[in-house]
Amino acid sequence: MKYTIFGCLVAAIIVLSGCSTILENDISNTEQEQSYVPMVNLNGTIYASYDLTKYEKYSTGEVFGEIKRRVPSSDIEKENLTSNYYDEGTVIYNVKEDNKIFLIEESPDIYSILEKLE
């Protein structure tokens, strides 16, 4: 009888400690995802995407280029027209109203604003 109660107690402790570890891992993964900033290398300068905008706010100018490759964040500075977030073929546009920013197409008529990373 003592061994049965003791065994159940040990099993309960193991199960509860395992659940708390899973919860901690889920929380740290969520924090990592939230701190993730989409970046693009344009002619050796790193631009970050912070805001979405509708087509009406800025006018797209000429096509600047397309993303060549998706790379890890650690390799973003090595090659022009690469991104740690956007897929190959994603189109980047110049902006008529402001030559310091670019627009990258997320979906039809929805763009992300690319600003120089300081």
Chain segment 18-49, per-residue pLDDT in tens: 655 554 454 444 444 445 789 999 999 999 99
Question: According to the model, what pLDDT value does residue 45 have?
Answer: 94
Residues 54, 4 share a domain? no
Question: What are the pLDDT tens digits along the chain (118 aa)?
Answer: 667 876 777 676 777 666 555 544 544 444 444 457 899 999 999 999 977 766 567 888 999 999 999 999 888 888 999 999 999 999 999 999 999 999 999 888 888 999 998 7
Residues 79, 111 share a domain? yes
Domain that holds residue 30: 1-35
Question: According to the model, what pLDDT value does residue 13 have?
Answer: 75
| Secondary structure of the chain as H, E, C letters | CHHHHHHHHHHHHHHHHHHHHHHHHHHHHHHHHHCCCCEEEECCEEEEEEEEEECCCCCEEEEEEECCEECCHHHCCCCCCEECCCCCCCEEEEECCCCCEEEEEEECCEEEEEEECC
Domain count, the chain: 2
What residue has token string 């800025």?
A: 58
Handedness of CA 84, 87, 89, 93 (dihedral sign): negative
Question: According to the model, what pLDDT value does residue 34 have?
Answer: 43
Residues 71, 43 share a domain? yes
Question: According to the model, what pLDDT value does residue 87 have?
Answer: 94
Contact 93, 61 (CB under 8 A): yes
Question: According to the model, what pLDDT value does residue 56 have?
Answer: 64
Question: According to the model, what pLDDT value does residue 39 have?
Answer: 94
| Residue 96: how many other CB atoms lie within 10 Å | 11
Residues 100, 46 share a domain? yes
